[in-house]
Chain A
Amino acid sequence: MPASRRSWIARTSTLALGAGAAGWSALLVLAAACRDDLGLAMVVQAEASATSAEQTSNFQVPPPPFSAGVFPCTDCHDPEIPVNTNRRELKTAHQEIQLRHDEEHRWCLDCHDAANRDMLHLAGGALVPFEESYRLCGQCHGDKYRDWRAGVHGRRTGHWDGEKSYLLCVHCHNSHAPAFQPIEPMPAPTPPRRTP
């Protein structure tokens, strides 16, 4: 997270310097610093507390449910080959993925990192491993993220007074088409018999 803070400030500074006016840039850098202190610091703190809560043994998340043979991504995505970052229909691999997740506005590389194929990235550029994908989901679905951390969104198993295990968002929601699919119900109870 400190990395993303630095990069955010750096980018803001570059933008400001690009504007050309030294005075303005100083002001903007100052604004960025203030913003960083007030806003981002709070986010970082929240993230940190979440992480520390997750690191205590009370918080267990099973490994992400990868389709067979897709991970690590670098098995196929050779880091040496330049990445085609153009939005396009996939023809040579992953054709089975039907994106139904704000597909008008999103595409693979909005979540998957182009430089490090085995990682995801947040909107700010910070890399996130697949095991912590909830941080990525939580960027847009903040209310669900909050509820999930409180144990209210999603299933918890284990002990009500101690060790619990959580599921990742992607255990229940297909990240590419997250709407919950209808399921088959179990048998209905037998209606009471009426004697004629």
Chain B
Amino acid sequence: MSHGCDAGATSGLSRRDFLCALAGCAAAAAGSCADPTHTPFFRDHLKELTPEDKARLLRELEQEFSARYGKPVEVALDSPRPGVEFAYALDISRCVGCRRCVHACVAENNQSRDPEIQWIRVLEMDKEKGVDFAHADPYYEADTVPRPGHFYVPVACQHCRNAPCVKTCPVGATWQEPDGIVVIDYDWCIGCRCCMAACPYGARHFNWGEPEIPAEQLNPKTHYLGNRPRPKGVVEKCTFCIQRVRAGLYPACVEVCPVGARKFGDLRDPDGEIRYILEHKRVFVLKSELATLPRFYYFFGV
């Protein structure tokens, strides 16, 4: 997963050097290039930053966001916990398609309200047709759900072990962390949207416009690789609420689901919910024929 950036680092010419050379290294620019975190554009890849550089980068972002939204914003960069491998399970026999998860996710993860970005899409499917993406409708309107004859399949990032998006990213801006979360460095993303074309689940979303989040609705507890405010022109997606789960909490969608269809936990915990589901329930993954090996399981709880 990290091959992309490692290759970039060993090719002899880093992005910073290249950009500096391109700019002719004018005196002012040379000053900023010497500082790897001076601006997000001229710094090194996140994995190559020293702890001090990272701390400075986070501080700068916190200052920028706090000024922009007029309230203290925290940008953390919690590391993955050793020995933990996250997985998710969703009970499609219980999901009623109420979209509480979609809106809890928007609020928790600071998704743009206008233009509208939603990481979770709830697909309404026909019971007669089964799981059939050709006849799935994410825009269903109803007075009450579930509608008779339908079932619901919420889809977000599947955090594939063999992730096509990670393989296709030309700059190494997205990778899989040791705890299984596929993350994006929004400051490293060049907005080419190759990952969106590669993702078979439609899980990645592009900021076509400047994201708009009302200051009072901004969640000030953010993670650098997760829910910090994004710039225009980058791709974003579900991170299993990285800011929550690395602190030991359940993701926001799990906590809000009124039917308890959403389950989250550590795949390596033999007594955890995920292992219980894998051992006792009928489980499937979406588009298994593509061998993406998702960490997101769907199951039948009844």
A residues near B (Cβ < 8 Å) are: 147, 150-162, 167, 172, 180, 182-191
Contact = CB atoms under 8 A, between A and B. Distances in A.
Interface string B139-158: 11111111000000000000
B277 A189 contact: no
B185 interface: no
**Counting chain A CB atoms within 10 Å of each CB, which of B249, B269, B281 scores highest?**
B249
10 contacts: A151-B276, A152-B280, A155-B259, A156-B263, A161-B266, A172-B258, A184-B145, A185-B140, A186-B102, A188-B99
Given A150-B273, A157-B255, A160-B264, A187 B249 contact: no
B250 interface: yes
B97 A147 contact: no
Contacts of B100: 186
B266 A160 contact: yes
A180 B261 CA distance: 13
B249 A152 contact: no
Contacts of B38: none
Q: Is the interface of B mostly helix, strand, loop or mixed?
A: loop
Interface of B: 84, 91, 96-100, 102-103, 116, 118, 121, 138-146, 245, 248-250, 254-255, 257-260, 263-266, 269, 272-273, 276-277, 280-281, 301
Contacts of B266: 160-161
B87 to A, nearest CB: 11
A160 B277 CA distance: 15
The 6 closest A-B pairs by CB, nearest first: A155-B260, A182-B144, A186-B99, A154-B260, A150-B276, A151-B273
A158 B144 contact: no
A183 B142 CA distance: 10
Nearest to A159: B248
A160 B265 contact: yes
A176 to B, nearest CB: 20
Contacts of A184: 98, 143-145
A189 B146 contact: no
Contacts of A159: 248-250
Contacts of A172: 258-260
Given A180-B259, A185-B98, A156 B140 contact: no
Contacts of A189: 102, 116, 118, 121, 138-139
Given A155-B260, A172-B260, A185 B139 contact: no
B248 A162 contact: yes
Contact of A188 (B96, B139, B245, B248): B139
A151 B274 CA distance: 9
A153 B260 contact: yes
